[in-house]
Structure 1
Amino acid sequence: MHEPTARCLRRTALWLATLLVMPFSVSLHAASDTVQADVYAIESNRAATTLLLDVAHAGPRVVAVGDHGHILYSDDQGQSWQQARVPSRQLLTAVYFVDERHGWAVGHDAQILASSDGGQTWSKQFEDQQREAPLLDVWFQDPNTGFAVGAYGALLATLDGGRHWDDVSARLDNEDQFHLNAIAAIPEAGLFIVGEAGGMYRSRDLGQSWEKLDSPYHGSLFGVIATGQPQTLLVFGLRGNLLRSSDFGDSWEAVQAQDERGALQATLAGAGRLDDGSLVLVGNAGTVLRSTDAGQNFTVFNRPDHIALAGVTGNARGELILVGQGGVRLGSSDGAALEQR
């Protein structure tokens, strides 16, 4: 039996219930014909304090996604937030912008939403309620070419900006249909996917073909991020496990992060690379890790509020924009809380 759907539980960071999912049984094109009439997210002045699972930049704008179909955007470095008009009330798990205007969000019911105005308004490109399985991450090479990954080995691809999505899961050697939790581009190398049971897949041709790698860790991996150096990446997951490769996955070294209690045990949930090149990882119990040497070493700060964190990015003032349980928070460069805003 599969572990709970990793990225959803990881990104909610609550771990209060097991997400029940069923295997994919409906073809993508048939599913495209079953999109229901749009039901829009309810507008709420408390949307910025509800569960948010991912955050990304759309140029200078910051966009966050989460529960109840909430998508928020900020034009003042994360100090205040506006709620976007969104044709969904589902849990949204990830957001990605390829430029300051074109972005995509994914979530439950295999929903894929798109924006062409920097996240202010959204349209629904695809959903399949019969799958009862979420999409968990999304990445685009340019405004036309992109991929979404998700539960039970889902790998979807588009060549036309999402007007049509093809199920290309068969490109992966994933007979057990383990969940795919995250996808990222690695400079001068290609694409990398991580998932359940230590799953690692790499593509040197931007997703046309994939190679399954032997993983040094067999627990769930929830994220992958490029360090900024050629062919170098970090993967991370359960119980603080953090691995670094400088050769696009040919070899790995464990990165040992320490806090005041010893070796880090908190599950790591999300990551971001800041304008100054530093890497920040966040996770359960308010854990914030920062590296200024491309992921070779990390300092650890445990926020006293112990709020589970799911995603992170930075603003122009060098502060961290943190999302997770209880919504969005601004933090100092190490993750410590700023004054209440």
Structure 2
Amino acid sequence: MKERVITQPRRFAWPLAAVAVLALGMWADSAQAAAADEYSTESAKASQSLLIDATHAGKRLVVVGDRGHILFSDDQGITWTQARVPTRQLLTAVFFLDDKRGWAVGHDAQILASTDGGATWIKQFEDLSREAPLLDIAFLDAQHGFAVGAYGALLETTDGGQHWQDVAERLDNPDQLHLNGIAVVKDAGLFIVGEQGNMFRSGDNGTRWNKVESPYEGSLFGVIGTAQPHTLLAYGLRGNLFRSTDFGDNWQPIELKAARGDLEFGLASATLLDDGSLVLVGNGGSVLRSQDDGQTFSVYNRADRIALAGVSGLANGGLLLVGQGGVHLANAEGADQVAGEVRP
């Protein structure tokens, strides 16, 4: 049965399940374009504000979120430094190719870039006429990258972001359904997921895209390639999680059991750890871990039930969780480490 989850006009439908309630209110607040010379406001509490995504820039941790906040940590999340960022818009995703070169995307179809590990950023692209955010970004190499977003947005660069081209016409997406996630799949190519279960894949670095028959008609919020060739996971509403070992030709639903029954919270983000483990997070404080390439998952529900929107690994085997309330340092299961260990 097809799920209907949009309860407001479609313009305001927010595709990130983990922070849907919070972000819906902020969409209107942040819709006004920031002036070209506006930078994110410095705040001692930035690490406790709403954060949407987290990643590594080498050994450095980088997080992004509300009001243009980008923070980085060189001591595994104990202390955080706020970066200089030329926007006050909500940022939705961050991607680093290595320890220096990274990109972030967000509202007003903004694309920001850093060449110093996330300490400073420049604005590479902005399109106020879209009145909608970009939601994810991925690079194949230092020159070639793609960004996806609301209303079927698909942008491509072949020069490291100096120029971005709208290539949405390459997709069979006549209704301009939201594109929520993009990932590189090992030895296979690029994969996109989005609204109403839409899936697209490219085996030629994004020149041609084929629509994939989806195992699910509800919204998919993200996709991640695993450590194995041709293998990926797609995840979304109400704990729906699917695994493919053949680049999307066939899908296996992954059953998720929480302590109190089936997992019903939306899944918002995923990461592949250095040891090959997969971790997913979502609404209601759900933290899922797989040590068999995504075939099975253990499920941990945090006692605080906070909405989680992003996750990255820590050097000590723990997890960096971000979302409602900002940064949370957790053990491998997802429970908080020593109280008070994270300081702004």
TM-score bracket, normalised by the shorter chain, equals: over 0.9
Q: Does 1:153 align with 2:152?
A: yes
Which residue is 1:10 aligned to? 17
**1:12 to 1:113, Cα distance in 2 relative to 1, 3 A:** same
Which residue is 1:179 aligned to? 178
**1:5 to 1:138, Cα distance in 2 relative to 1, 3 A:** farther
Overall identity of the aligned pairs, in %: 61
Which residue is 1:212 aligned to? 211
Contact 2:14 2:23 in 1 (8 A): no
Instruction: Report the residue type matching 1:261 in the other structure.
Output: R
Which residue is 1:306 aligned to? 305
Contact 2:18 2:267 in 1 (8 A): no
Contact 1:13 1:310 in 2 (8 A): no
Could you report, residue by residue, the CA deviation over 1:75-131 in whole angstroms, capped at 9, with x for unpaired residues? 011111100000000000000001110000000001110000000000011112222
Gaps of 5+ in 1: 22-33
Instruction: Report the residue type matching 1:10 in the other structure.
Output: A
- For 1:11 and 1:300, the matched residues in 2 are separated by 16
3-state SS of the aligned residue for 1:14?
A: helix
Q: 1:126-275 to 2 correspondence within 5 Å? A: 126-275=125-274
Gaps of 5+ in 2: 1-8
Q: 1:24-173 to 2 correspondence within 5 Å? A: 36-173=35-172
- For 1:248 and 1:18, the matched residues in 2 are separated by 37
Name the TM-score, length of structure 1 as normaliser.
Answer: 0.93
- For 1:228 and 1:2, the matched residues in 2 are separated by 36
The structural deviation recorded for 1:10 is 2.6
- For 2:82 and 2:290, the matched residues in 1 are separated by 32
3-state SS of the aligned residue for 1:243?
A: strand
**1:20 to 1:325, Cα distance in 2 relative to 1, 3 A:** closer
The structural deviation recorded for 1:236 is 0.3
Instruction: Report the residue type matching 1:328 in the other structure.
Output: V
The structural deviation recorded for 1:35 is 9.6
* Alignment root-mean-square deviation, CA: 1.7
Name the TM-score, length of structure 2 as normaliser.
Answer: 0.92
The structural deviation recorded for 1:5 is 3.9
Instruction: Count the aligned residue pairs.
Output: 328
The structural deviation recorded for 1:306 is 0.7
Contact 2:222 2:268 in 1 (8 A): yes
Could you report, residue by residue, the CA deviation over 1:223-270 in whole angstroms, capped at 9, with x for unpaired residues? 101111110000000000000000000000100010122111010000
3-state SS of the aligned residue for 2:119?
A: coil
- For 1:80 and 1:310, the matched residues in 2 are separated by 20
- For 1:117 and 1:43, the matched residues in 2 are separated by 19
Contact 1:240 1:266 in 2 (8 A): yes
Which residue is 1:328 aligned to? 327
The structural deviation recorded for 1:36 is 5.0
Contact 1:281 1:290 in 2 (8 A): yes
**1:16 to 1:189, Cα distance in 2 relative to 1, 3 A:** closer
**1:68 to 1:36, Cα distance in 2 relative to 1, 3 A:** closer
- For 1:306 and 1:108, the matched residues in 2 are separated by 27
Contact 1:240 1:267 in 2 (8 A): yes
